[in-house]
Amino acid sequence: MRVPLSWLKEYVELVVSPEELADRLTLAGMEVTSIDYVGAEAPANSAWSPDLSGPVPPEHIPWDPERVLVGEIVEVNQHPNADRLTVPVVGYGDGRTIAVVTGAPNIKVGMCGQKVALALAGAKLVDGHSETRKWVTLKPTKLRGVASEGMVCSELELGLSEEHEGILFLPDDAPVGTPLRDYLGDVVLNIDLTPNLSRALSIVGVAREVAALTDQPLKLPEPEVAAEGPSIEGRARVTVTDPEDCPRFTIGLIEGITVGPSPAWLQQRLRLAGMRPISNVVDVSNYVMLEWGQPSHAFDADRVVDRHLIVRRAHEGETLRTLDNQERKLSPAHIVVADPSGAESLAGVMGGLETEVTDATKNILLEAAIWNPAQIRRTAQAFKLPSEASRRFERGVDPGLPPLALRRALELMRQVAGGTVAQGLVDVYGRPWEPRRLELTSAEVRRLLGVELSAAQIAELLGRLGFECEIGLDSVLVLVPSYRLDVSIVADLVEEVARLYGYDQLPSTRLADELPPQYTDELRLGESFVKDTLVACGLQEVITYSLTSLETIRLFDGTQPDASAYLQLENPLAPERAFLRRSILPELTQALASNLRERPRVTLFEAGRIFEPRPGEVLPREALRLALVMAGQRESLSWHNGQQPLLDYFDLKGTIETLLARLRIGDKVRFQPAEDRRFHPGRSAHLVGQNGQPLGLLGELHPDVRERLGLNIARATAAELDLDALLQLHQEPQYQPVYRQPVVYQDIAVIAPTSVTAEQARSLIIQTAGPLLEHAELFDVYTGSPIPEGQRSLAFRMNFRAPDRTLSDSEVNKIREKIIRRLQSDLGATIRA
């Protein structure tokens, strides 16, 4: 909401600076996001001062009070050397005149007396002749041989708008020689209003707030109209079929108008408030909406059949061509304003083309109504037609406004467009406003705000906002005004008391009771730790749907799933979201396939719950799972590393091993070869605990699975782990001193049958070596000559260290011999020479 302070001053005296006013409004819940100084100069210490030092002028620029003045055209002469140029002579007070050269099409030879914005040499303005926005400083010059000492300005050059077709004419009452800043300059507050603040979507609404916050009287004159025409009774009719859709519908009639441009003052106010001037009739409607918060709509009365407006639901298949020249297909879900021939307006959203006001319009039916907010919101969203009118209607408009706003609009229309206003209004008020009465006690204010206020103090604060209050012994009976649709319960009144009292004045107090015991959610902390670890490994977290389809499951599993094994929704939003998942991977691999079409490398993970039905129980088992998918280039393509290999099983396994190490459970789990139709044989593994507890499955996807998923890549990996079980195994870190003793390294290479896994050999080494072995790592695997067929060579590096002494070679060799004997006896291995 843009609020020009010059407009606001008509309703409340401003006794504080714009900056302080912005602070007070923000603290009262109406956030001022910016202050625009239009022509005026911002205070030096203002946080809202525009940057004038850059090469691009800000949206609004200050006008030099000595060089940008109100001028008056004394005469206009034709340029002697150019048919399209004229030479106006402009007076600017005290008998001073100046000749300027202009090509503005709205400056004609013979003009006299028009008021203009005159810029003298040295003035800094927006360059109106540049394709890009930039500064220009005026200098005396000659144009086609004629001296030009200044400039008559357009709106663009003054930073008012992008209009540059002609120079800006000022109202006839503009005082010649006055700095333009003093006459036309303004300060505009930009207020960000939340949906519950519909009362402030108008100048009057903001004025009420300012008056209350600054304790100044609200100047709110009752709109009057000079209605000199015949009575509207019998000359226009209204029918409302359902008061629930339209609680109030009011129309007025004005005849004999002339459609044309609005006067300069009206156009300027609309621009400052963020609206584009169109014509006097439309501008008046918008002006009153901004002023009072009541949208209205003008119908060409001669194009409304029998001048009979009917508020009803649209018929099935009925169409309406709206003002944007789009044909809209309607249904009974939409409210329309119609005449006996059909729909003429989409209620509260947009008018119809058939009854549009044109340059030929002479008679107008002006409508102001109250609509069902939910219906207006649904209609505006359905047709994608958000507007200033629908914005107000869907938040709620004061039910007492329509007659008042019509009188204001009809009188303004009579002043700017001529015509005769018919006496009276047609006001169909099918569902009158029911005033609310609420009792607010001092005890309730003390309970919610922590401050002691008497009933009289509460009444004084609420009275500033327009609430009528009856003061009791220790309570206040409050009558809620019709424009406060947001106040329905006592807590709403307490909020108003707090706003006026000042949120910043509320005392800081401790709780009267002890704090409840604080419990740490270990599961949440563990889940967060796992996510952080995987992100550090270069993976990206995603969240897929918990709802899936049998087809999505089939694409991953390869067989048609049994629907009875899944929980099914009775009323799904879509067929592909009908079943609760039992695995994360079917949806996550779909995300993998989608992303691989757009980028060369995709590494994703998701931590979420699966839903496993339990026989005889209503609710499923909701287990926490962790799923990972990785595919694409191992590293980014670069000039120095050539063709990049693809991510494979070992990249996935390494990521999981890093996670297990961070959880400090690497020694409590092991990998075992897996046989699963969804994974590549020989490139997949089960993750199991020490007691054989299954903890997950990982590997490269089978080529058939990649084909079904549309993964056009040679390798893709996936894993799904039991996160509940992993977090139960998680251990807190154990700290120990840094050893001063050196490490003794020993390598050992054994020849073992290919049926013996490297992990078996490594585990046996760790078990046999005892506490002096710090680490054992496989560093080489070899098959081929001279290794016999059916066997392979496994080479391990062992790190030995004692915490209290330096180990001797003899001590280490004894342990090595013990390890060799154990490998020979348990695994049938031999030492490789």
Written as one string, the DSSP assignment of 726-755 is HHHH-------PPP-SPPEEEEEEEEEETT
613, 610, 630: which is closest to 553 by C-alpha?
Answer: 610
DSSP 482-519: TT-TT--SHHHHHHHHHHHH-GGGSPP---SSPPPPP-
Please say if the pLDDT value at position 132 is more than 70. Answer: yes
Q: Is the peptide bond before 786 cis (omega within 30 degrees of 0)?
A: yes
**Residue range 100-129: average pLDDT?**
92
SS (H, E, C) 385-444: CCCHHHHHHCCCCCCCHHHHHHHHHHHHHHHHHCCEEEECCEEEECCCCCCEEEEEEHHH
Amino acid of residue 289: M
What does each C-alpha distance from 792 to 319, 508, 674, 752 come to in angstroms? 81, 75, 21, 6
> Tens digits of per-residue pLDDT, 482-499?
999 999 999 999 999 999
Please say if the pLDDT value at position 340 is more than 70. Answer: yes
Host H or E run for residue 5: helix 5-8
Under the banding of pLDDT at 50, 70 and 90, the label for residue 507 is confident
Distance CA 782, CA 483 (A): 86
Host H or E run for residue 805: none
Q: Residue 667 contacts by C-beta under 8 Å, 6 or more apart in sequence?
A: none
Please say if the pLDDT value at position 150 is more than 80. Answer: yes
Distance CA 136, CA 164 (A): 15
* Cβ(286)–Cβ(2) below 8 Å: no
Please say if the pLDDT value at position 657 is more than 80. Answer: yes
Distance CA 794, CA 755 (A): 12
pLDDT of residue 50: 87
Distance CA 826, CA 833 (A): 20
> Which region among 588-597, 651-660, 800-809 has the lowest average model confidence (pLDDT)?
800-809
Host H or E run for residue 346: strand 342-346
Average pLDDT taken over every residue of the chain? 93
Please say if the pLDDT value at position 83 is more than 80. Answer: yes
Distance CA 704, CA 710 (A): 10
297, 391, 286, 279: which is closest to 336 by C-alpha?
Answer: 297
Helices (H) and strands (E) counted in the chain, each on its own, are 20, 42
Classified as helix, coil or strand, 549 is coil
Structure tokens at 155: 């709106």
177 class by beta-carbon count within 10 Å (0-12 exposed, 13-18 middle, 19+ buried) = middle
> Tens digits of per-residue pLDDT, 276-329?
999 999 999 999 999 999 999 999 999 999 999 999 999 999 999 999 999 999
Please say if the pLDDT value at position 605 is more than 90. Answer: yes
392, 401, 391: which is closest to 427 by C-alpha?
Answer: 401
pLDDT of residue 515: 81
Distance CA 656, CA 164 (A): 65
Report the percentage of the chain scoring pLDDT > 90: 81
**Residue range 775-790: average pLDDT?**
91
Classified as helix, coil or strand, 608 is strand
Give the residues across from 440 on adjacent strands.
Answer: 476
Classified as helix, coil or strand, 555 is helix
Q: Considering just the CA atoms, what is the radius of gyration of the chain in Å?
A: 40
**Residue range 146-157: average pLDDT?**
92
pLDDT of residue 365: 97
> Tens digits of per-residue pLDDT, 412-442?
999 999 999 999 999 999 999 999 999 999 9
- The DSSP code for 130 is -
Classified as helix, coil or strand, 337 is strand
Nearest 5°: phi and psi at 452?
A: -95, 110
Give the residues across from 424 on adjacent strands.
Answer: none
476, 467, 229, 494: which is closest to 364 by C-alpha?
Answer: 229
* Cβ(160)–Cβ(188) below 8 Å: no
> Tens digits of per-residue pLDDT, 533-566?
999 999 999 999 999 999 999 999 999 999 999 9
Report the percentage of the chain scoring pLDDT > 70: 100
Q: Which residues of 261-284 are buried (b: 16+ CB within 10 A; e: fewer)?
A: ebebebbbbbbbbebebebbbbbb
Structure tokens at 174: 């503009």
Classified as helix, coil or strand, 198 is helix
Distance CA 427, CA 240 (A): 11
> Tens digits of per-residue pLDDT, 368-408?
999 999 999 999 999 999 999 999 999 999 999 999 999 99
346, 361, 176, 340: which is closest to 280 by C-alpha?
Answer: 361
Under the banding of pLDDT at 50, 70 and 90, the label for residue 642 is low
pLDDT of residue 512: 73
